[in-house]
Structure 1
Amino acid sequence: MSNLETAPQARVCGGRDDVSARPVHELLTGKQVPLGESTVVRRLLPNLGRRMVGAWCFVDHYGPDDIVDEPGMQVAPHPHTGLQTVSWLHDGEVTHRDSVGSLATVRPRELGIMTAGRAIAHSEESPRGHGPVLHGAQLWVAIPDRHRHTEPHFEHHPQLPEVAAPGLRATVILGELDGARSPGAVYSPLVGADLTLAAGAAARLPLERDFEYAVLSMSGSVDVDGVRVEPGALLYLGCGRTELPLRADADSSLLLLGGEPFEEKIVMWWNFVARSGEEIAEARAAWNDAPADRFGEVHGYDGARLLAPALPPVPLKPRGRTR
């Protein structure tokens, strides 16, 4: 998924100075951002209060949207560097095409993960004859410096491991949770899991003490460690936890995101993750002027590619993980 803002801010994220070493409760609300022809997303990371959770550096939540008479998701070819994109659906289907020749339709609770590495381009669209509802999340993971120039590739995993407890089912999207490990490629210690809770469920989910965590409410209203989290909100939880109490009065679902605090500083602008403003400028110029040379071509999308917007008039400088 692309960041379609016409004047995106440059953000420097990462580093451990501002990571909470103890459990906290920071409830974050999203910014409404239009995406493509008919989709509006709630952008939860980066946020004015929090820029990263582990290596997770970008979180969009969209839907549930009625797209019976709409085209649904229509995101034209656009570039990425230095990150992984994670597509996660609860309703609907999204067709992925990219410049390394991948073509896949991702369906609910299937993992579509694209490793941009040194450079890739892709498009995302609801297929013709799509279902009536679109609901999901788009997530980005920053790749550590030693791996960020890896060869780009795409993975589609229709089957993922699960962890179950009375009233709770957890699908492991990335990383490992309670001994269950996702087949998706990761480059730093992290976890992503889809939690489904039945009405009346009360459960305790095991966590890693050294990870920082956040939860995104996808549907229903859930008490997370005593804090009520409504759909479309993100609760940052800090570090130092070995378990997470959950209670649901109605059928509900959450995304759990966590990982070791990301030690490196990264510069994130538009759809690029880099280590300096100069790298961002080089990637932007390459995409706008001669995209095939660095990013390749996306074949099969009916429409023009997206051009990168103008760079901000000030140098891209570090501003830390929080603001």
Structure 2
Amino acid sequence: MEHTPAERVREAGATDTRECGFELIEARQVPLGGVRAMNVRRTLPHKTRFTVGAWCFLDHYGPDDVSATGGMHVPPHPHTGLQTVSWLFRGEIEHRDSLGSHQLVRPGEMNLMSAGRGISHSEVSTEAEPVLHGVQLWTLLPEADRLSDPDFSHTIAATAQRDAGPADATVTVFIGELDGIRATATGRTPLIGAEILLPPGGSLSLPIDPAHEHAVLLDAGEMTFGGEAVPEH
């Protein structure tokens, strides 16, 4: 989510349903990790939409039995000009990078890596938790930061309860601020990243900035958003 996102050029004939206030993007299966690849569901980038604000990449994986699938094995590889956001629902991932960073990430924690002018890193799931389930997100760095020094940080997300009807919803903000819940981590642009756990039959209204672009990924269950049904990914 970003104020005044940059103009994008769209392919001729591409479907765009934003005029009705809701755009549905279907994820596609993509192998990740070379020879020992695991399949992920990639929603961004998509042929009809490359970004949502500064968010430019979304891989959703699991829940996978690590003993059966082998988990995540992404060998060292380079990045420039972006930030990577690692967020888990279940499991544990070990991060190493060319800055010398060595950090485990678990649910409720976030690894944020700013590539800047260049960094190399690897991500490997551990056997500490038998199930691996989460998302890998990237954000574009603004032009002024694209050649900045690379950086890595590990933070604990901010969590609060909100009334959602039959029971409370849990809102966990891992970057930026939502409904007064402020994460320690901030992006180089005005970003918001949050996980919302709704009770069955629950309904939640949250204040949002209409100048932002917003996206919702449904991990499990059924949900309507803005009066439209959201399919499970």
- Is TM (by shorter chain) over 0.5? yes
Structure 2 segments unaligned to the other structure (5+ residues): 11-15
Cα offsets for 1:195-233 (capped at 9, x unmatched): 11111211111101110111011122211122222321x
Partner of residue 123, structure 2: 124
Distance 1:169 1:228 in 2: 21
Distance 1:15 1:228 in 2: 28
Structure 1 residue 160 corresponds to structure 2 residue 157: yes
Using CA pairs below 8 Å that are at least 6 residues apart, which structure has the higher relative contact order?
1
Deviation at 1:179, TM superposition (A): 2.2
Q: Which of 1 and 2 has greater Rg?
A: 1
Deviation at 1:23, TM superposition (A): 6.3
Give the secondary structure class of the aligned counterpart of 2:189. Answer: coil
Does the CA contact (< 8 Å) of 2:159 and 2:171 recur in 1? yes
Alignment coverage as a number of residue pairs: 218
Cα offsets for 1:238-279 (capped at 9, x unmatched): xxxxxxxxxxxxxxxxxxxxxxxxxxxxxxxxxxxxxxxxxx
Q: Tell me the TM-score normalised to structure 1 length.
A: 0.64
Deviation at 1:188, TM superposition (A): 0.8
Percent identity, please. 46
Distance 2:146 2:97 in 1: 18
Cα distance change of structure 1 residues 91 and 113 upon mapping to structure 2, 3 Å threshold:
same
- Quick one: which amino acid aligns to residue 31 of structure 1? R
2:27 pairs with 17, 25, 30, which one?
Answer: 30
Partner of residue 100, structure 2: 101
Cα distance change of structure 1 residues 150 and 20 upon mapping to structure 2, 3 Å threshold:
farther
Deviation at 1:48, TM superposition (A): 1.6
Deviation at 1:79, TM superposition (A): 0.2
Q: Tell me the TM-score normalised to structure 2 length.
A: 0.87
Distance 2:79 2:232 in 1: 28
Does the CA contact (< 8 Å) of 2:89 and 2:134 recur in 1? yes
Partner of residue 53, structure 2: 54
- Quick one: which amino acid aligns to residue 135 of structure 2? A
Distance 1:70 1:211 in 2: 38
Give the secondary structure class of the aligned counterpart of 2:49. Answer: coil
Once superposed, what is the RMSD of the aligned Cα atoms?
2.0
Structure 1 segments unaligned to the other structure (5+ residues): 1-12, 233-323
Distance 2:125 2:193 in 1: 24
Give the secondary structure class of the aligned counterpart of 1:205. Answer: coil
